[in-house]
Chains A and B, each alone.
Chain A
């Protein structure tokens, strides 16, 4: 009787089983890392999207975030550091029926891959980019990233960062993205909704996710436990939809402006290519 009840009450299958590679779990991420939440939000967004999952492809670069492609039970490509976007561009142009999503880290997309990011945005390539910003290079143990706030400490800015960081939504909007949003990992519903909107968008759509790296960035900047870091980002957040992303810089302290910043329509690369053929 108890056994029967347990069977009813405790599912032997996780509801997301179908979209995760069971044989790849447990994942390599540290406990308390925000990446698990990002993956969960992505999977629940997929479940709500009316898409043929055989046509959804995830491309990652290299980094902790870059491992996301390997845990999803979709066609997935784990490429080289910084090159997820041009690889994804080839996939999309090789087979325009594919729904191509890039999931990668702030270092991967903004530093070594920064040139590809701005040019894919400029072309309005029909891709969705989920940029997980943990303000540092997690995979290589916490070095400075182009998103590290000024004065923040990392293993390669031990006296405080002397650089100005990129503001991802501002860069995306300025270079041509047609959908731009930013959330923290604790904004799960809103993040999920933005992923859905981004994937439904025809054009270059960008969702930045502010995510804790308790192991490195959190420790270097004395942000407390993983949960405290997560809560800190959430508490500092101010939702300001459709505000000017130029005002959304992130400092070491102070507020983090989140929300949907851009949602516009313009022809994609493929639209213009087709027009040119006629």
Chain B
């Protein structure tokens, strides 16, 4: 990887030493993001600051909105103007964005929302790590829906997954969540930015028919409708109300509601194989599988190594994609292993999913952490040992 440079189009290329938040912003720029609407909040502020500096250099627009509700609203509007758009926040701002996250889902608006998680609830621990918003990412907006959430564990992954988030958002026409955390956002490491030509770019799917033959919500076979934007002559009507294929409100028909909601869910679930990314290390032959994501997958590597040194057969399953959940893989592993160990910086969120999918065929041990710090390797190691020791019981929490 040669020297680092800024090409004349303002895009970086080369090897850099940067923190996760900066890497996130640079990933967004490489992915073609040209609009950022945000509101400062620790520990996500550096993303906004980097975008404020960088977007004008690449012909994009940064605006600091009056709050996070306005930020996500502007991001949705910018996406409908044909721009790749994003915002970044942390817990309190994420809570404020929930209503219009739902608007993005029902109107099928591609965009990226980054949550640099900190300790909660409420204002909690602004400068310290947390992973307590994982269920909010799944269910935070009201009503039935399916969502896509990615979880990076290093600045390089934050760069890579921000790009992937933009491509998934366009491919499946939905907001995509990048659920990172303070530890990753503020960690400084080497980040390699490949040449722009080597970066995947999934272009927005446009209608292939003239305006009079276009139904804005008639899906292609994969469940995703091509998207005409404002100003393109299609005279679209877009509403957060339950709507038919024309995009017109139909708020009293159970059939219309059923058809719409089922499709919104199906377009993601039916394409799980494409969306779900897992990283596995010695999972096949394992008696115990540690299931982790984000910074907790990284800190789990050490106790896994310690356990292996003790002769235990331990695998590490890293959820790069957290939502949709890797149900099939957990179901497949459950009869083959003795148990799953799930360290996460909350009091049990993804562990419940693992336990649900294990369906009683293997025990699930949560290693909780209330937030503000990372797991001590011994806590995870103890949990691994408990699975393999005969007197262990299911779904217990370690001290």
A75 to B66, Cβ gap below 8 A? no
Contact A95 B83 (CB under 8 A): yes
Nearest CB of chain B from residue A18's CB, rounded to whole Å: 11
Cβ-based interface call for A166 (8 A): no
Q: Which of B74, B232, B235 contacts A74 (CB under 8 A)? A: B235
Report chain A residues within 8 Å CB of B79: 90, 94
User: Would A75 and B236 be within 8 Å (CB), given that A70-B249, A86-B73, A98-B231 are in contact?
Assistant: yes
Query: For window 59-77 of chain B, which residues contact chain A by CB distance below 8 Å?
Result: 61, 63, 65-67, 69-71, 73-77
Q: List 26 A-B contacts (CB under 8 A).
A: A54-B231, A78-B239, A78-B241, A83-B100, A83-B103, A86-B71, A86-B73, A87-B77, A88-B77, A89-B63, A89-B74, A89-B77, A90-B75, A90-B78, A91-B80, A93-B35, A93-B78, A93-B81, A94-B80, A94-B81, A95-B83, A95-B229, A95-B230, A98-B81, A115-B66, A273-B61
CB A268 to nearest CB in B, in angstroms, measures: 13
* Cα separation A57 to B228 with both chains bound (whole Å): 13
Residue among B74, B76, B241 with max Cβ neighbours from chain A (10 Å): B74
| Beta-carbon contact of A91 and B237 below 8 Å | no
Seen from chain A, the residues whose Cβ lies within 8 Å of a Cβ on chain B are: 21, 23-24, 54-55, 57, 59, 69-70, 73-80, 83, 86-95, 97-98, 115-116, 119, 269, 273, 276-277
Q: Which residues of A contact B67 (CB under 8 A)?
A: 115
Complex Cα spacing A87 to B77, Å:
5
Known A-B contacts A91-B78, A98-B230; the reply to A78 vs B237 at CB < 8 A is yes
Can you add 5 more A-B contacts, CB < 8 Å, to A79-B240, A269-B63?
A78-B241, A86-B74, A87-B77, A91-B80, A93-B74
* A57 and chain B: residue at smallest CB distance: B230
Task: Give min CB distance, A95 to chain B, whole Å.
Answer: 4
* Bound complex: CA A24 to CA B56 (Å): 42
Residues of B9-39 contacting chain A, CB below 8 A:
35, 37
The smallest beta-carbon distance between A28 and chain B, in angstroms, is 9
Q: Which of A54, A77, A116 contacts B232 (CB 8 A)?
A: A54
Give the Cβ gap from A119 to chain B, nearest Cβ, in Å: 4
In the complex, whether B311 has a CB less than 8 A from a CB of chain A is no
User: Which residues on the B side are within 8 Å of A273 (C-beta)?
Assistant: 56, 61
Using Cβ atoms and an 8 Å threshold, which residues of chain B touch A98? 81, 230-231
Chain A residue contacts of B73, Cβ below 8 A = 79-80, 83, 86-87, 89-90, 116
- Is B264 engaged at the interface, CB distance under 8 Å to the other chain? no
Partner of A94, one of B56, B71, B82, B238: B82
Q: Type the 1/0 row for B96-134, where 1 means its CB is closer than 8 Å to any CB of A.
A: 000110010000000000000000000000000000000
Q: Is B144 in the interface zone, CB < 8 Å from A?
A: no
Given the known inter-chain contacts A83-B69, A83-B100, A86-B69, please indicate yes or no for A91 contacting B81, CB distance below 8 A.
Answer: yes
Q: Which of B312-331 contact A (CB under 8 A)?
A: none
Are B239's CB and A70's CB within 8 A? yes
Q: Is there contact, CB below 8 Å, between B235 and A94? A: no
Complex Cα distance, B235 from A73, in Å, reads 6
Closest-CB distance, B377 to chain A (whole angstroms): 45
Closest to B232 in A: A54
Is B390 engaged at the interface, CB distance under 8 Å to the other chain?
no
> CA of A33 to CA of B231 in the docked complex: distance in angstroms?
31
Asked if A55 and B248 sit within 8 Å, CB to CB, the answer is: no
Least Cβ–Cβ distance between B167 and chain A, in angstroms: 19
**Which 4 pairs from chain A and chain B are nearest by CB?**
A90-B77, A94-B81, A90-B74, A94-B78
Residue of A78, A89, A277 touching B238 (CB-CB under 8 A): A78
B231 touches A80 (CB 8 A): no
B63 to chain A: closest residue by CB: A93
Chain A CB within 10 A, most for which of B56, B77, B79, B239: B77
Is B85 part of the contact surface with A, judged by Cβ < 8 Å? yes
> Known: A86-B77, A91-B80. Is A54-B233 also a contact (CB below 8 A)?
yes
**CB of B230 to closest CB in A, whole Å:** 4
